Chain A
Amino acid sequence: MQQAVAAPARSAARTRRTPHLGDALFAGAARFAGVFVLVLLGAIIVVLALGGLQAFHAFGPFFLISADWDPVQNVYGAAVPIFGTLVTSILALIMAVPLSFGIAVYLTELAPAWVRRPVGTAIELLAAIPSIIYGMWGFFVIVPIMAQWIQPHVIDTFDGIPVLEDLFAGPPFGTGIFTAALILAIMIVPFIAATMRDVFETVPAVYKESAYGIGCTMWEVMRSIVVPYTRTSVVGGIMLGLGRALGETMAVTFVIGNTNRIATSLFGPGNTIASIVALEFPESQAGSLKLSSLLALGFILFVISFIVLAISRLLLRPRLKT
């Protein structure tokens, strides 16, 4: 702390005497800050990979496909958390994308000007709510509603219908994959909706007006003009939401049911990579295979998120340039 205070004071004193040195110092500090981010990212990857080495070594590639997670026998596999992470995130996208599209269309095409700002601000505020709040709200409000009202009725309704009966089976805990996906969907809507609104606004008015001029309905304008014009950026925004959903920890941990079995039912409990790491970390001893397996899971999540975010950057690039 003391050093941090002293350093700028010293450099300021020098600046007055020799301006060139100050300039060099500033450039150096800025360069250091830039390189620091790269080093930090690399260091995190290296630490996760090294930490997980013991697990990768012990289980080999089977670590990725084994559904075992048995701390008593010291056997660990990543299949259940990977499955849970991907399924909840994809389900969340399926719910969030249409809703976000609706919000974006309303804000850019339908809403009167005085409504746009408050609604737009509200969406941005939704993105600022800490995930623990979503978790508590999910656990104390959504889960009881799911357990007492929605799940028993859905389970009874689909009982006896092939496929659907299996997809919606099990005791109505209220928690589970579906509830987790629902909370995730609410959490990622602001990201996707904000991106969609921004890119929809970049569509030149003259395109839309010409379409309306030849008698297109609003749906036809959206489908044939706006969406094709902004397609890559929209997909990029969706990827951004997916990236958030993949790594979300607290909110999911509260409502997913935390079970190391691959659920065949949407109402069945599961696990995600982030939730299992959060839950098991405090009881993992230094140097144990369990700790190594958790670090390996972290590495896998890092790789998945990295791929998703790289795709999103790639697709958003045209929009960011303009």
Chain B
Amino acid sequence: MKLAVTALAISLAGFTMAGAAQAQQITGAGATFPAPVYTKWGEAAKAAIGIELNYQAIGSGGGQNQILNRTVDFGASDAPMDPAKLDSGKLLQFPTVMGAVVVIVNIPGVEPNKLRLPGELLAEIYEGKITKWNDPKIAEANRDVKLPSLAIAPVYRADGSGTTFVYASYLSAVSPTWKDKVGANTSVRWPAGAGAKGNDGVAATVHNTRGGIGYVEFAYAAQNKLTTVQIRNKAGVYVSPTMEAFSAAASNGDWANAKNFAVNLIDQPGEKSWPIVSATFIELPKDPKDPARSANVIKFFDWAYKSGDAAASSLEYIALPEKVKDAVRAAWHAEVKAPDGKPIF
């Protein structure tokens, strides 16, 4: 089924590329996580600067495959692409927006943002080592919350997803055992629990299962008013998932030293930082076959950097810091060249 969808997406991308000469159309494919904001930017940009974005949310892996094969104008991926592949594929990678992953629970009598969980306990829950909500370790962090003797039912994303990559990266950062035994990828070998498809699947399964715990993108939790929890950050402070906490983490990121802009925003220092934040990326050919189309891609994202922050915030994404946007603009100028060697931005 997905195979057919992917094939359809590829053929659609091919058709639109062939027929787009008259319209200012650009095509992209990849990550599902930023798809809502790209769609919104696309609608606004069509009116503002006359560039129409055709974005196919086929998954980060699919997006990377397609841009390596040059079937689209740009690829999009949640996890930063392997530097060796970026080099061999002659791709420039840059971030667009950031998002946060939050933990949701379904425990009778527990209100949103009341339960406090240190990252190590999250790892132990997903390893199947802690199996009851009234486990002494959880109770110790939650003296003022009444926890029932209920089996913990961990729920995870069954489909390969950037959300899983971010969440597993966080568990790897806080738990050496997790890093050793499981690690981080778009899908991992989960030691315990059950999988559900998509953010909505995870949310619905947690909602249906007494004792359920799951992780979803923040936008999804905010829009559906799910029961989120506080997580302890690197500074040892329990923080609730709020836009301020996400922005704090983003501004603490070490952007200056990140190669290919592949900044690590997981478990950032700072008392206000939410520990599970990540950026999502675009991959653009450095040697475009059709410089005009690539110029339009850059024009589109330049416009989004200038005028798209409000749209991003309204969808619960976090806008990039201004200095990062300027660094990306410098990279566009320096690295994306037309066949005659002239920069196209």
Q: Which residues of A contact B (CB under 8 A)?
A: 68-73, 139-140, 143-144, 147-148, 171-176, 249-250, 253-254, 257-260, 269, 277-286
**Which of B69, B182, B196 gathers most chain A CB within 10 Å?**
B196
B151 and A282 within 8 A (CB): no
Contact flag A258-B209 (CB < 8 Å), given A283-B186, A286-B68: no
Query: Which residues of chain B have C-beta atoms less than 8 A from A172's C-beta?
Result: 153, 209-210
CB A317 to nearest CB in B, in angstroms, measures: 31
User: B194 touches which one: A250, A259, A277, A286 (CB < 8 A)?
Assistant: A259
B241 at the interface (CB under 8 A from A): no
Give the distance in Å from the alpha carbon of A286 to the alpha carbon of B88 in the complex. Answer: 14
Contact flag A258-B158 (CB < 8 Å), given A139-B204, A285-B61: yes
Interface residues on B, range: 35 or more
A286 and B65 within 8 A (CB): yes
Give the distance in Å from the alpha carbon of A72 to the alpha carbon of B151 in the complex. Answer: 28
Query: Which residues of chain B have C-beta atoms less than 8 A from A253's C-beta?
Result: 158, 197
A148 and B184 within 8 A (CB): no
B208 at the interface (CB under 8 A from A): yes
A281 and B6 within 8 A (CB): yes
Give the distance in Å from the alpha carbon of A135 to the alpha carbon of B306 in the complex. Answer: 43
CB B306 to nearest CB in A, in angstroms, measures: 32
Give the distance in Å from the alpha carbon of A139 to the alpha carbon of B65 in the complex. Answer: 32
Give the distance in Å from the alpha carbon of A129 to the alpha carbon of B185 in the complex. Answer: 36
A282 and B59 within 8 A (CB): yes
Given contacts A140-B204, A258-B159, A283-B159, 20 further A-B contacts (CB under 8 A): A68-B189, A69-B189, A73-B183, A73-B189, A143-B205, A171-B152, A173-B153, A173-B194, A173-B212, A175-B205, A258-B194, A258-B196, A260-B189, A278-B1, A280-B159, A282-B62, A283-B59, A283-B160, A284-B61, A285-B61
B1 and A279 within 8 A (CB): no
CB A307 to nearest CB in B, in angstroms, measures: 22
Q: Which residues of B contact A (CB under 8 A)?
A: 1-3, 6, 58-62, 64-65, 68-69, 151-153, 155, 158-161, 182-190, 193-197, 201, 204-205, 208-212
CB B101 to nearest CB in A, in angstroms, measures: 16
Query: Which residues of chain B have C-beta atoms less than 8 A from A71's C-beta?
Result: 160, 185-189
Contact flag A173-B205 (CB < 8 Å), given A254-B197, A269-B195: yes
Query: Which residues of chain B have C-beta atoms less than 8 A from A73's C-beta?
Result: 183, 189
CB A297 to nearest CB in B, in angstroms, measures: 12
Query: Which residues of chain A have C-beta atoms less than 8 A from B208's C-beta?
Result: 143-144, 147-148, 173-174
Give the distance in Å from the alpha carbon of A259 to the alpha carbon of B6 in the complex. Answer: 23
Q: Which residue of B lies closest to A148 (CB)?
A: B208
CB B308 to nearest CB in A, in angstroms, measures: 26
Q: Which residue of B lies closest to A285 (CB)?
A: B61
Give the distance in Å from the alpha carbon of A176 to the alpha carbon of B58 in the complex. Answer: 26
A277 and B3 within 8 A (CB): yes
B194 and A257 within 8 A (CB): yes
B189 and A285 within 8 A (CB): no
B209 and A171 within 8 A (CB): yes
Q: 9 A-B residue contacts at CB 8 Å?
A: A72-B182, A148-B210, A173-B209, A174-B209, A176-B194, A257-B158, A258-B194, A280-B159, A282-B58
CB B46 to nearest CB in A, in angstroms, measures: 27
B187 and A278 within 8 A (CB): no
Report the 6 A-B pairs with minimum CB-CB distance, sorted nearest first. Answer: A283-B160, A282-B59, A258-B158, A258-B195, A72-B183, A283-B61
